[in-house]
Each structure stands twice: as C-alpha cells, then as structure tokens.
Structure 1
C-alpha cells in the first residue's frame, strides 16, 4: 500500500516538483556563470567604443592643431558612420539591432544578429551618431548568453533559454549603468511592464513616496524629521529643496516631457521611410546631424561635440559647471541636438536613453533661470522627466536619475519622483491620439 502511494499521483507530483527545483537551481548556476563572459564582452565593447570616440573627437583634432573640433569636422566622420549603419541595416541579419524609436527591449538577440549589431554600433556611435550604447550592449549580453547556452545550457527556444538570454542582457546593462541594482530594476520592469495593472500600482506608489519623503528630507530651513535609514558616511548632500522648487517641479516636468515627445513625434514620422529605404535614410540622418552640429558650432563658438554622440561626457561638464553655458547656447544645443536625436532614433542604431537624459539636463539648467528654481533641483527634474518620457519605465527612470545625483540623491528624491510621475502621465496623455489612430487602422 505504501509503495503504491509513493508511485501514485502524489508521488509523481513530488517527483515533478523536485525535478523542477533542480532545473531552476541549474538555471541559476548557469546565469551566474554567464555573467562572467558577458561582463568581459561588455567591457571590451565599451572600451573599444570609448577609444574610438576619444581618437576621433579628441586625439586626432589635437594632433592636427585644433583645440576643439572645428565646425566642419563631424561631416566626414558621420558620412562613414551613416554608410556603416546603413549597410548593417540593409544587408546583415537582424537589421543592425533594435530600432531605437521603439525604445529598449530586454528580449535576447540571436547570435547570428551580432555582426550587424556590432557594425552598426561601432561604425556609427563613436563617429557622432546621437544615440547611446545601451541597446547594442543589451544585444551583446543576450547573444553571448545564448552562445553559452548552446554549449551548456537548456535547449534553444525554451523558456529557460530565454531567461538565460535576458540574464545576459542584465549583466551587460550593469556595466553601462555602473550598478547591478539599476540593471536588475530595468530588466524586471522592461520584462513586466506590458501589464497595465502594474502601471496603475507603480505610479501612485512613486508619487506618495516622493511627497512623503519631504517629511525626512526637509524643505527649506526645516531639516525634516531624523530617521534611522540606510546611508553611506561621507555623502552629505549639498543642495536643499525649497517651496519654490516644488512649485516649479510640475510645470517644468510637463514642459520637458512635451519637448521629448516632439522629438519622438518627428522620429516616428521618419521611421516608415527609414524602414523602406534604410541606406538613404541613414545617410540623410547623418547629413542632418552634421549640419546641425556645424550650425551650433558656428552660432555659439562652442564645440560641435555638444550636439553629437550620446551626451554622457557633455552631461558631466554640464552638471559640473552649468553657469559656463549661456542661455542662448543652451537653446541652440537643445534644438540642434533634439533634431539630430530625432533623425537618429528613426534611421540609425543605438540606445535612446542617454541623449534624452542629456536633453532633459540641458532643459533643466535652462529652466533654473526661473525665479526660485535652484540649479540642482531643476537639473534633477529635467533629467527625471526626460528619462520617464523616453522610456515607459518609471521606476527605472527614478532609480537611474537618483544614482546620477550622487550626494544630492536623498535631498532631491521628492522632486525626482514627482517629475517622473508627471512626465510619464504627460507622455501617455500626449500619446493617446496616436494610439487611437493605430487602433482604428488595425
């Protein structure tokens, strides 16, 4: 009787649970092992990208006697980048990777697509294309993970194989964001954000947390209530929120979200043409970018690099000394980089996050001229609103901007969270007409 019970339905169920638990443990071990080759590949990719960028925009101009690249310098390099990207999109498997106007995807990329992704990324991004490295980096991580899975992992096409590929993407994202926590939040939110119910829960939580944070961060001369919380010694915040900063947060976030939305509207309008004629549109996009960068340099006397590339290095300069850039230069920068960003989103290949983040930062510095709007709060609001408008991932946007703020993260958390929610809702409201048009067309 006992033997029969052990081999009956209950015994079979127990055996299946044990087998499932062992398969999951094996998957976890493989995911941990995959992180090593993925991180090495991601580091190599970023190191090569950084070296090429420095050679083209710093070393070579200096060797030719230019303190900064002259206004005409971007044109020949962008032409080469346009040909490389157009060739990858038109002739190689995978079309050079994910189309940036569609945002970011955590879905694993087939290893056979990797040559096209690398050609489009290394041939375009260091030569001035106004996109970031995060999308090709995700592709590299996912493809390397799937290559490893072919040898030691689960069968291709299974859910376990997809999980392993997504794990590789997370490991690669951690390299560019500089934090495994940000990578984990980003991948989890990207994978689960298709559920509208999750959105309805997340937004109220972010808003309540942002407003409630004022109790312990303080406002103006009131330092807030002392609480016991996790903190690192030596990271004393230098900026203080005031009532006027809070009053400006909502309209500023709406303005930045509308700005970023207009960039995306232009990019989406050009995307169908880019899909039909990839080479022509890639060359058109780099031509527009070269003209915009040259015009900016001639009008402001500054380097055309302000308009080019992902904006990561320029963002550091902007946040370090915002007063060094005049209001006129900021306006010219926003317009020229915004146009270049739009055409790049439609016709070229790369990630959409960092150029959008830079546009938000520039808009924030410009808005800091408003009475009572501090530079650091305005910068935080601009970056948070732009990131939330670029990606439909509010938690990831809040975590990323908070990480960038460093020692001011705790004091700026309320305006960051409020700006993320306001910008996200604004983007969704502005997107309703397009969604309705697509539904009617379908």
Structure 2
C-alpha cells in the first residue's frame, strides 16, 4: 500500500494559492501601481473626451450658427463625413495598428501598446466629432492600455509579461469606467469577458476594479471642478413607471427578439463593409464615410429633423429620447433606426471607434417605437431596447444588464426582472443568428 503524500508534497489548494498571491510583495506592488496608474489615465481620458466634445460642439452647433443656420442643415453631414474619411484614410493604411481595432469585432482583442496611441488618438479626435456613428469607448480603452503599458516599459518591468498584461487590462478598465457609469460596469465586463475562473479571475479583477474606481473618482471630480462636459453615457431622466406588469412581459420578449434582429443585421453589415474595405482601403474608407453622410442626410431630409440626431455616437439623442419619448413620432423613430442602423453598420467595418453607444440608441429608439402596443409601457420599452441592443453588440449579457440598470436610475428596481430576461433573450438571439450565418470578412 502506498503511503499518502506529505502535506509539503501535495499541490496547494486553490484558496491557499490565491492567498499566497494576494499576500505576496509583488502583487502588493501591482495593486499600488494600479492606483498610481489610475489617476493619470483618468486625467488623460477626461481631457480626451472633453476635447472631443468641444470639437463636436463646434462642428454641429457653433459652426452652423456662424454661417446662418439655427441647426445643421440636411446636407451638413456630406462635407463633414467626407472630411472624416479623408483624415482617416492615411491613418488606417500607414500608421501602426491602423488607428485601433476594427469596431465590428467589439471591444476585444489584445491591449494596444504605446505605438498605436498616436493613430488611435488622432483617428478618434479627427473623425468622431465630424459625425462618425461610433462611440468613444474603444479609443478610450486603447488610450488606457497604451498609457499603462508605456508606464510599465518606462519602469523596465517588461521582464514580467503577466504583470504587464494585468496592468494593460487595468488601464483599459480605468478608461472604460470613465464613460460607462463607473467601476461596477467595468469590473463586471472584465469578469464576463475574461472567461477566467478561480484564482486567476481574482488576480486580474482586483487591479482592474481598484484602478477603475480611482479613475472614475478623478474623472467625475474633474468634470465638476472644470465645468467641462465629459459626454458619459447616461440618461438625465426616464419616464416614471410603477414597474413592469403582464403586458410589459408579454410584449417585452418578442420586442427584444425584434430589436436583436435589427441590431444584429446592422452589425452583420459591418462584416460586409470590412471585407469590402480590405481591398483598396484608402479609397474605400473615404467612400464608406461619404455613404454614412448620405444615410444621415437622408434621415434629415425625410423627417425634417436635425441630422445630428442620426450622426455621432448617439449619447445626446439618447438622453433627449429618454427625457421626452412622446415628442418623437413613430415615423421619425423608424427612420432613425433605419438610417442610423445602416450608417452604424458601415462605420463598424470601415471606420474607427466604439460599437456600443450607437447600438444602445438604436435599441432604445426601436423599443420606444413599439411602446404604442397595448399594455406596453414606455419605460419598459426603453429598458428592453437598451439591454437587448447592448447584449447583442457586446455578447456580454450580465454586463449589459448592469449597464441598463445603471442607466434606468431610480426606476431600475422596477425594471430589473424585465431587464434580466431581455438581456438573455437578446444574447441568445444574437448567438442563433451568428450560428446560422457565421460572420467574417469576405
């Protein structure tokens, strides 16, 4: 009979291994470095987003008034998006990493290093304010990871690749927490996206949560101290509601499926555009930007409303829609979903930016357009649209549910059951669509 191994010979239990890592001197330094990196990364993100917002204000508000228009005329997006394409074309063809990840692939991929920073920053500041239908979240994550890895390289810590990976991820998490409502969404995103388990998950999560918490504090504080707009994704107000009833659930699930089909179809257009722009990239990048301008101008021509509603990331339009959804005719909402959806799909495969913000507006607009169904409340429709679209585009249902809960504010508790169900419905519908027709550039 063999003798049992001695305690010293047995492999350490997961809890013992985790405890050893957390109490080690190296991991303590990693946590301290996460805090130290969170402050400058948050400041960089603050000024990046503020500058982008100021340029956007100049292009879509100050400049039209300066040339005699109370609001941008219907043709305004055409020269604006043409300029965006001309500025972006040399970035995607000549600079390292092409100005960042192609947004149709989501926020995933390895953290971008310092070499990619000039292209990412220029592409975002030069094109997003001109009307590109993408958000700032992907450039912010690239900025956060690039600055974190630059600090690691400057400190000559590249001999520890795992530490560099954790710090790069912490930098990205710090950046995304500044724009998605705080560290909670960022932490849940890391948990869900990492696909890790046990001690490895905790080791990765703690620096991310710590850095994002410090970053969110600095980011929010500077917004109050300076008075500059930071353009975070938020809803100033939502329609009052007592909570979802049977009618909300009866309509909520099929409406979630419909929204998932709409957002999923627009997202698939991004793969087609990516394949098309892979050849003759410079010329076709400009052509894609012009096509986006045509879509936005078409919305303004048909509806008689401002083209700014269909342009840009959709943060401002989402707030206006949530504050007064009854001010929007159903026909205008349908045209917004159609025109902005096509423009977003083109941008996903050809331009640079983040995919989440426009998708959330598309889902919210589609949900509110369906709120006229008998027994379907406006607030419930808004919640269904937000969570379903976020779940489809991110493939992270838990993160999407947390984001929707934070956006719904005081009414979140009432809508939470519906949000949870529709998040899963949107995720499963997106998976079924993907299985039926696997995405990929042609």
The bucket for the TM-score relative to the shorter chain is: 0.7 to 0.9
Structure 1 pair 153–24 and aligned structure 2 pair: CA distance change class (3 A): farther
| Residue of structure 1 aligned with 2:299, choices 289, 296, 301 | 296
Please state if 1:409 is matched with 2:412.
yes
The match for 1:68 is: 71
Matched-pair contact (CA < 8 Å) for 2:145–2:168: yes
Give the drift of 1:323: 1.0
Distance in 2 (alpha carbons) for counterparts of 1:369 and 1:28: 51
Counterpart residue number, 2:94: 91
Deviates more, 1:278-287 or 1:317-326: 278-287
Alignment of 1:189 with 2:192, yes or no, is yes
Does structure 2 retain, via aligned residues, the 8 Å contact 1:125–1:131? yes
1:265 aligns with 2:243: no
Structure 1 segments of 4+ aligned residues over 6 angstroms from their partners: none
Aligned to 2:33: 30
TM-score of the aligned structures, taking structure 2 as reference length: 0.84
Range moving further from structure 2, 95-104 or 285-294: 285-294
Q: Shift of residue 104 of structure 1?
A: 0.7
Deviation larger for 112-121 or 278-287: 278-287
Deviation for aligned residue 1:237: 6.6
Query: What residue number does 1:227 align with?
Result: none
**Residues 164-206 of structure 1, C-alpha deviation per residue, up to 9 Å, x if partnerless?**
01001111111111311111111232222799xx9xxxxxxxx
Task: Name the CA distance, whole Å, in 1 between partners of 2:369 and 2:153.
Answer: 51
Q: Any unmatched runs of 5+ in structure 1?
A: 1-7, 199-234
Q: CA deviation at 1:263?
A: 0.6
Counterpart in 2 of 1:250?
253
Partner of 1:426: 429
**1:303-341 deviations in whole A, cap 9, x for unaligned?**
001111000000000011111111111111111001100
Matches within 5 A, 1:149-168: 149-152=152-155, 154-155=157-158, 158-168=161-171
Contact 2:239 2:379 in 1 (8 A): no
**Structure 2: unaligned runs, 5 residues or longer:** 1-7, 11-15, 202-237
Map of 1:201-240 to 2, 5 A cutoff? Answer: 238-240=241-243
Q: How far off its partner does 1:106 sit? A: 6.3
Closer, same or farther in 2 for the Cα pair 1:56/1:236, shift >3 Å? Answer: closer
Match of 1:399 in 2: 402
**1:275 match:** 278
Say if 2:360 and 2:386, in contact at 8 Å, map to a contact too: yes
Aligned to 1:359: 362
Moved more, 166-175 or 270-279: 270-279
The offset of 1:19, in angstroms, is: 11
Distance 2:239 2:92 in 1: 48
Q: Give the aligned partner of residue 42 of structure 2.
A: 39
Offset at residue 67 of structure 1 (A): 1.4
Aligned-pair Cα RMSD in Å:
2.6
Which of 144, 147, 155 is equivalent to 1:144?
147
* Residue 153 of structure 1, CA deviation: 6.1
Cα distance change on mapping 1:305 and 1:28 into 2, 3 Å: same
Higher Rg of the two aligned structures: 1
